[in-house]
Structures are given as C-alpha cells and as structure tokens.
Structure 1
Amino acid sequence: MKAKVKEALARPSYNVFDFYHRKGFFQWVAKSNAFETVTLVVIGINALWLAHDTNSNQSESLLSARIDFQVAEIFFCTYYAIELFVRFMAFRRKCDSLRDGWFVFDSLLVLMMLGETLLLSVLLLLLGPDGPASTAVGNASILRLFRLLRLSRMARMLRSMPELMILIKGMAAAATSVFFVMCLQLILLYVFAIAFTQLASGTMMGDYYFPDVLHSMYTLLLYGTFLDNLSQFCDE
C-alpha cells in the first residue's frame, strides 16, 4: 500500500508546456503566470455568478433575461473562447491538443457554452416568440442546467495547489483498499440483516423495521450506522 502511494506521488507530472512552441506570441501568453491567474479568477467569478444567476434570473432564455445577465454570459463565453484559442495556437503540432485532457475538456465546455449562449439565442430570434418551433426551443431552457458543468472548471484550480494534488493522488492510490473495506461492510450488513429478520419475525418491531432482508439492511444502515437526521430525511 505504501509503495503504491509513493509511486503515485513520485510519478512525473504531465506538463503541457512541453508541446508548445518555443517562440511566438501565443506560447508566451499561454505560458505566462498572469494568463493562468486571470483565467482562474474568471473561473472563480463565474462560479459565484452562477449562484446569483440561479437565484435572480428566472428567464427561460438569454434573450428574455435582463441586460446584466446577457452581458455577463457573453463576457464569460467570449473569454473562455479566446483563452481556448490562445492555448490551441500555442501548440507546435495542433493534433497534440487532443492529447491534453484539460484542453479537450475545456473545448467541450466552450462548445456547450457557445451552443447555449449563441446558437439557442439565434434560433429563438429567427423563430420568433410565437413561431411553430419556438416552444420546443424554449423548452430547451433545460440546457441551462448544463451551466453547472462550468463549475467543473474549478478543478483547474487544483493545479495551482500542489498540496491538494498530493491528497488526491493519495486518495486515488488508496481507492482499492477502501473498496474492499466497503465490500466487507456490505457483507457484515447482509449477515446481520438476515439475523435480525429471523429474530424479529412475528414482532411489532420486526414488522416495521425488519420485514425482509432488504428492509433490514436499510434499517441497519440508516438507523444503526448513520445519524438520525439522515434516516428521517430518507424516510420522508
């Protein structure tokens, strides 16, 4: 176990800068600490803005939202698109961008943002508020839920916090041991569920808490292991 943890911690980290140009404007910007810092700040502001947008913006589409929400969405979408373009142009071989997990992940998020912010708005503008397909597009406002995926960009902040990366690598190395501990707990829970079901059979407590093995496992897990507040929440 210790060897796996040490191996995970000692493994050389991937550095995307190795695939960038040696010279040029785009590689200089992409490698600069100021560019990375500004990007992290924008990601943090976007995460906070999503909370404000969720609480205050009740519009189904960007076109019907207040002007401040429209400006904010266009700003975030524009910045992320520019940031992605700068990073793409910094690669010596453009196909190497597909080998960078962060770049592929950010590309998918930017495409989703462009689809939600621009494409959906253009369709609504062309179809009109009373068009035959406007209802279908308006119902697509459920796509706003995909804004939550933007919060996953905050994972990039982990790269600026080496201590957190060490914790994550240690947790990943210990995941196998934790899995087998959970298997052991499940086996014990199953055995005691059978025992309680048989012992409490025919009693009022047995009929309510231990009518069968599955209900017995549920009772032992929530009432015997977790807090009472959780069991009350699950029962309701």
Structure 2
Amino acid sequence: MTTSVIQFQERLKRIDSSPLFQWTVISVIIISALLIGARTHDLPPSVIGILTFLDNAVTVFFLIEIVIRFLATPKKSQFFKNGWNIFDTLIVIGSLVPDGGSGVLLARLLRVFRVLRLVSMVPELRLLINALIKAIPRMGYIALLMFVIFYIYAAIGSIVFHEINEVLWGDVSISMLTLFRVATFEDWTDVMYETMAVYPMSWLFYLSFIFLTAFIFLNMMVGTILEVMNEEHEQHRALQHGESAEGGEPASRAQIEKLEAELAEIKALLKQQSSS
C-alpha cells in the first residue's frame, strides 16, 4: 500500500470520526424522518417536488457517508464483520430503489427504515439494542414457559367455559387470544363476570392466571433485560477505561473489586513485614 493511499485513508478516517461529521449525519437522519412524515400529508405538487429533491439529496448523502466509512477502513473485509456496518449498508442500498412505477410502495417502505440509522449512530442506542439481542435467548425460555401456562389455562377455559361464550372459549386457539386479553387487562373483568354468573368460583381461574403471567413472568422478562443491560454497560465502561479481563474480554466490576481487595491485602502484609 503506497504512502498516498495511507494518507488518503487517514484523512477519511479523521473525517468519519470527527464530531462535526457525526452530528451532521445525525441531523440528516432526523431530516430524513421529517421528510417521510411530511410526505404522508396532502401537499401541493410544488411542495412534493421540493420534498422529492431533498429526499434524493439525503439518499446521495447517505451513499457518500457509507463510501467514506468503507474507504477509511484499512482492511475492507473487516468492514463487513461489523454488524452495524452491514445494517447501515443494507439501509442505504434499500434507499437507492427508484421511487417510481410499480416500486413506489416498496421504495417508500424502504426509506422509512432510514430512521433506524439513528440507532447505529448513537452509542447509547447501540448498547440498548445489543442488550435486547443478547437477552433474547434468556427471554426465550421464559416465553416458552409462558406459552405452556397459556396453553394449560386455554385448554381448561375451553373445556369449562365454551358453553357460556363460544366466541371467547370455542377452542384452544380462541381461548389463548381471550387469555391474552386478560393478561393485558383489556376489559378482562367483563370476561370474568360472565363466567362467574355460571361458576361463582371462576375468579380463581383468572386471578391465578394473572398472578402467573402479569406479575411473575413479565417481571422475569424485565429482570432479564435489566441484567443484560447492566452487563453491557459494565463492558462498555471497562472498554472506555482500557480495562480487560483474561481472554481479552472486558473486566467486570466484580473482577476489579477483587483485584483491589487483593492489592489491599498485599499492602497490609508488606506493612506488617516492614514493622516487624
């Protein structure tokens, strides 16, 4: 690689990492979101023409920005190993779909997703998305257990209450939709009082179901997300301070506190030896 190419890459890298350029990209993303919202209104043709020109200008800017980021990367294969770079590239490519003919609806839908680029540009939003993605496997087991509970209660409800209201309790699938309504507290008391008119003790069925789903499982979901978000923030903080654990992973707060405790013990032993 020649010196001129290296200097060119360094210049592009400085442009890409500069706060002014980053804030410019964020501002263009916000303008793009406003343009999408404006085009949903009934506007005169002259205004629509201006919005179309601005929309095309935003598309060109995004294309130039992604090219700068790609050329600023020393190893081009490393560029596509970053999931956020792939995400931004797909959105930019989708924005290049011509807004005309039979592809009008597709082009407009793809342009809506340009607003999601705000997520890749703001580090705090990236932390939230990364935490949600990492929490999905843990949440999957909770969701599976919730499905089992929903199925059991739906089967019981369909067997016991189907004669009371066939619309709500006709079969297992309809009963699961009814239980979802109960779990979201959407007029669930109307469903309960209807069955209580025939089975006065049926309130136990609803209260136990709500206790399991709304109070236990949903709180478990929230707790799992908060735990993963805390781990992400710890890793981000450790990387910012240049701290690392064995194997190249960021050190956690517990590891740092353990090291501090060990250093304090060593200092205490040294003091005892010096005094003796």
d(CA) in 2 for partners of 1:185, 1:93: 46
Aligned residues of 2:22 and 2:121 also touching (Cα < 8 A): no
2:166 is aligned, of 194, 203, 207, to 207
Q: 1:91 to 1:198 in 2, by over 3 A?
A: closer
SS at match of 2:97: helix
Mapping of residues 38-53 of structure 1, within 5 Å: 38-53=24-39
d(CA) in 1 for partners of 2:18, 2:80: 22
Structure showing greater radius of gyration is: 2
Mapping of residues 110-121 of structure 1, within 5 Å: 110-116=92-98
d(CA) in 2 for partners of 1:207, 1:66: 51
The letter for the 1-side match of 2:64 is: I
d(CA) in 2 for partners of 1:173, 1:98: 20
Aligned residues of 2:32 and 2:55 also touching (Cα < 8 A): no
Task: Give the C-alpha shift of residue 35 in structure 1.
Answer: 1.0
d(CA) in 2 for partners of 1:51, 1:216: 39
Task: Give the C-alpha shift of residue 93 in structure 1.
Answer: 2.9
Q: Give the equivalent residue in structure 2 for 1:150.
A: 114
Q: Give the equivalent residue in structure 2 for 1:87.
A: 69
The letter for the 2-side match of 1:147 is: R
Q: Is 1:36 the counterpart of 2:22 in the alignment? A: yes
SS at match of 1:141: helix
Per-residue CA deviation, residues 11-30 of structure 1 (Å, 9 max, x unaligned), is xxxxxxxxx95763212211
SS at match of 1:71: helix
SS at match of 1:24: helix
d(CA) in 1 for partners of 2:95, 2:144: 41
- Give the unaligned 5+ runs of structure 1: 1-19, 121-137, 231-236
RMSD (Å), alpha carbons: 3.0
Aligned residues of 2:92 and 2:114 also touching (Cα < 8 A): no
Q: Give the equivalent residue in structure 2 for 1:141.
A: 104
2:91 is aligned, of 81, 96, 109, to 109
Q: Is 1:219 the counterpart of 2:205 in the alignment? A: no
Q: Is 1:190 the counterpart of 2:170 in the alignment? A: no
Q: For structure 1, which segment, 138-147 or 166-175, has the greater mean C-alpha deviation from structure 2 after superposition?
A: 166-175
Question: How does the TM-score come out when normalised to structure 2?
Answer: 0.56
d(CA) in 2 for partners of 1:229, 1:206: 15
Q: Which has the higher contact order (CA 8 A, sep 6+)?
A: 1
Aligned residues of 1:57 and 1:69 also touching (Cα < 8 A): no
Q: Give the equivalent residue in structure 1 for 2:213.
A: none
Question: How does the TM-score come out when normalised to structure 1?
Answer: 0.65
SS at match of 1:91: coil
Moved beyond 6 Å, runs of 4+: none
Q: 1:188 to 1:42 in 2, by over 3 A?
A: same
Q: 1:184 to 1:65 in 2, by over 3 A?
A: same
d(CA) in 2 for partners of 1:103, 1:165: 12
d(CA) in 1 for partners of 2:67, 2:17: 14
d(CA) in 2 for partners of 1:219, 1:74: 47
d(CA) in 1 for partners of 2:41, 2:70: 35
The letter for the 1-side match of 2:54 is: A
- Give the unaligned 5+ runs of structure 2: 189-276
Percent of pairs with identical residues: 24
Question: How many aligned positions are there?
Answer: 182
